[in-house]
Amino acid sequence: MLSKPETTSKQSPEAETEQLKRTTGIAFAAIFYFAAGIYYLAFPILTQDLTQVHLLTIGIVSIIAGYFLVKPHRLGLWLGLLLFPVHIVTPAFGFQAEFNVAGALTSPLDVIFLASLIVLIFFTSVAFLVLLDQRRNFMPSEAKSAKK
C-alpha cells in the first residue's frame, strides 16, 4: 500500500510565536502613557485630595497600558485605544472647571495647570493616532502573511 509521507514543521514553536515588533511610534505611546499615568497620580497627591479616585484609577490604568506597550502586548494596544476618550474628556472637564473660576488667569500656577491640560490633550491625540497607525505591529507575522 502507498502511504503519504509525513510532513514535519520546519519551524520551531519559538519561531511560530514571533516576538511582536516595537517601533518608535509604539515606544512614544508607551512613554506618553507612563507620563500621563504619573501626571494623573501626582495631581491628587499634590493637592492632598485622595478622594479623587477616578484620577488615581486613570493613572494606574495608564501606567499599565504603558507597561504593556513596552512589551509590546495586545492588551497595551487595547488599553491605549480605550483610554483615548478618558484622556480627552478628563482634562477637558478640568480645563472648563478651572477656566470658569474668576481670576484663574491671574495666577501663574493656574496658567501652567491650564497649559498642561492642553499639552495632555494634544499628546493624547498624537498617541492615539500612532497606536491606530501601528496596530498592525501587534499581530503575529503568520496573520500578516495570511492577509497578503
pLDDT, tens digit, 9 for 90 and up, residues 79-92 = 999 999 999 999 99
Question: Which residues does the chain have with pLDDT short of 70?
Answer: 1-22, 139-148
- Please indicate, yes or no, whether the overall pTM of this predicted structure exceeds 0.95: no
Q: What are phi and psi of 104, to 5 degrees?
A: -70, -30
Residue 3 DSSP label:
-
| CA-closest candidate to residue 136, choices 9, 11, 21 | 21
pLDDT at 46: 87
- b vs e for 50-69, b when ≥16 Cβ sit within 10 Å of the residue's Cβ? eeeeebbebbebbbbbbbbb
